[in-house]
Amino acid sequence: MTAKSAEQQTRSEVLAKGALAVGSIYGAMAVGPFVRRALGAMGGSDVDILNFALTLEYLEAKFYAEAKTRAKPKGELKSLVNLLAEDEQQHVEALTATIKQLGGKPVAEPKFDFPYSGTAGFLRLAQTFEDTGVSAYNGAAPMLESKEVLAAAGGIVQVEARHAAAIRLQNGAESAPAAFDTPLDEKQVLKAVEPFLA
Amino acid sequence: MSPTQELVNPHSRRRFLAVGGGSTALAAFLAACGSDSDSSSTGTTAMSSGGGTSETAEFGKGDVGILNYALTLEYLETAFYADVVKSGLFKGADLETIRKFGREEAEHVQALTQAVKSLGGRPAPEPKTEFPLESAKSVLELAATVENLGAAAYLGQAANIESPEVLASALAIHSVEGRHAAALNTLLGKTITPDGAFAKPADVKTVLKSVEPFIVG
Nearest to B25 among A98, A164, A175 (CB): A98
Q: What residue type is assigned to position B137 of the chain?
A: K
- A83 to chain B, any CB pair closer than 8 A? The answer is yes
| Residue to substitute from B55, B67, B116, B179, interface A, most A β-carbons within 10 A | B179
Domain that holds residue A74: 45-182
Quick check: A127 and A175 in contact, CB under 8 A?
Answer: no
Contacts of B116 (CB under 8 A, 6+ apart): B60, B64, B67, B68, B71, B122, B123, B124
| pTM score, whole prediction | 0.82
| Residues paired with A18 in a beta bridge | none
Residue A52 lies in a domain: yes
Contacts of A170 (CB under 8 A, 6+ apart): A77, A80, A123
Q: Do B197 and A28 touch (CB under 8 A)?
A: no
Residue A190 lies in a domain: no
DSSP SS3 for B7: coil
**Which letter does DSSP use for residue B28 in this model?**
H
Distance CA B133, CA B44 (A): 41
pLDDT in tens, A100-144: 999 999 999 999 999 999 999 999 999 999 999 999 999 999 999
pLDDT in tens, B155-193: 999 999 999 989 999 999 999 999 999 999 999 999 999
Q: Which residues in chain B touch residue A24, judged by CB atoms under 8 angstroms apart? A: none
Residue A25 lies in a domain: no
Residue A135 lies in a domain: yes
Q: Do A175 and B178 touch (CB under 8 A)?
A: no
pLDDT for the residue numbered B53: 52
Quick check: B77 and B146 in contact, CB under 8 A?
Answer: yes
Confidence of residue B27 (pLDDT cuts 50, 70, 90): very low
Q: How far is CA B199 from the centre of its chain?
A: 13
Q: Do A154 and B172 touch (CB under 8 A)?
A: no
- A93 to chain B, any CB pair closer than 8 A? The answer is yes
Query: What CATH number did the domain enclosing A60 receive?
Result: 1.20.1260.10
Q: Do A156 and B169 touch (CB under 8 A)?
A: no
Residue A71 lies in a domain: yes
Indicate if the pLDDT at residue B132 is higher than 90: yes
Indicate if the pLDDT at residue A35 is higher than 60: no
Residue A20 lies in a domain: no
- Using CA atoms, how far residue B53 sits from A152, B1, B58, B170, in Å, is 18, 7, 11, 16
Q: Which residues in chain A touch residue B43, judged by CB atoms under 8 angstroms apart? A: none
Pairs of CB atoms within 8 A across A/B: 230
- A97 to chain B, any CB pair closer than 8 A? The answer is yes
Residue A150 lies in a domain: yes
Closest alpha carbon to A9 in A142, A167, A120 = A120
What would the 3-class secondary structure string for B131-184 be? Answer: CCCCCHHHHHHHHHHHHHHHHHHHHHHHCCCCCHHHHHHHHHHHHHHHHHHHHH
Say how many domains are in chain A.
1
Q: Do B182 and A155 touch (CB under 8 A)?
A: no
Q: Do A97 and B29 touch (CB under 8 A)?
A: yes
Residue A4 lies in a domain: no
Quick check: B102 and B81 in contact, CB under 8 A?
Answer: yes
Closest alpha carbon to A137 in A192, A189, A194 = A189
Distance CA B107, CA B110 (A): 5
Q: Do A93 and B168 touch (CB under 8 A)?
A: no
- A29 to chain B, any CB pair closer than 8 A? The answer is yes
